[in-house]
Amino acid sequence: MAILFEDGEALVIDKPAGLPIEKPRRGGQSLEDDLDALKLGFQRPPVPVHRIDTDTSGCLLLARNPKALKRFARAFEEREVEKRYLGVLDGVPEADEGTIELSLAKTSSKQGGWRMIAAKKGKPSITHWRKLAEVDGKALIAFRPETGRTHQIRIHALAGIGLPLLGDPVYGKGNRTMLHAAGLLVQREGKPPIAAHAPFPQQFSDLGFADPGEADPFDRQTGPDDVD
């Protein structure tokens, strides 16, 4: 498991797709099994600060002590963390970019289990998105979520853009959601920021998409067709 950032109070790892953070009820491997190995000479094992879905690969922040955990958790709650994701849509959107603002709520049924839906009485959520490339009727999208709701990008892709993420077993068709936590930036008072970039997934390359690199696509002044 690659380490993308390391200092005395934080680690950022490149979580593999398919690895759950917490031990599944049905058993099996999880990130919890690797935390002791990630002590790397420290007395305590690091603790995940936030959650990303089992299918999602990429940047995951771990805190090395309780004080750091509290500060980092507060930064996430106060929307002071910049997160960048890459996802592959099962189709090509009509627009090149946009901002999705939807309130999300959890629902469940005996037949389909639980899922998130857009609902007026839900919790507000905001995601910015930008199309980077098109290949064979699919689109590579950069996402920048301002909030961190459960399944936010997945339901925003479906309900906000009108297309599910490729392979999404809940909101689309398939068994592996094509979503990658590409970048993470956490500002710290009196210290350099925590900055990490996760390598482009091979599964995305296998679909014909080129690595867009580390540059933040939302800072670019060029259009989507200018991205290699």
Q: Which pLDDT tens digit goes with each residue over 115-127?
A: 998 898 899 999 9
Distance CA 228, CA 215 (A): 12
Whole-structure pTM value: 0.91
Distance CA 45, CA 35 (A): 5
Catalytic positions: 53
Confirm if 106 and 46 have CB atoms less than 8 A apart.
no
Closest CA relative to residue 100, chosen from 164, 131, 144, 150:
144
Report which DSSP code applies to 56. Answer: -
Share of the chain above pLDDT 90, in %: 84
Domains and CATH numbers, the chain: 3-214 (3.30.2350.10)
Q: Which pLDDT tens digit goes with each residue over 147-204?
A: 999 999 999 999 999 999 999 999 999 999 999 999 999 999 889 999 999 999 999 9
Exposed, middle or buried: residue 123 (CB in 10 Å: 0-12, 13-18, 19+)?
A: middle
Distance CA 101, CA 118 (A): 10
Confirm if 1 and 13 have CB atoms less than 8 A apart.
yes
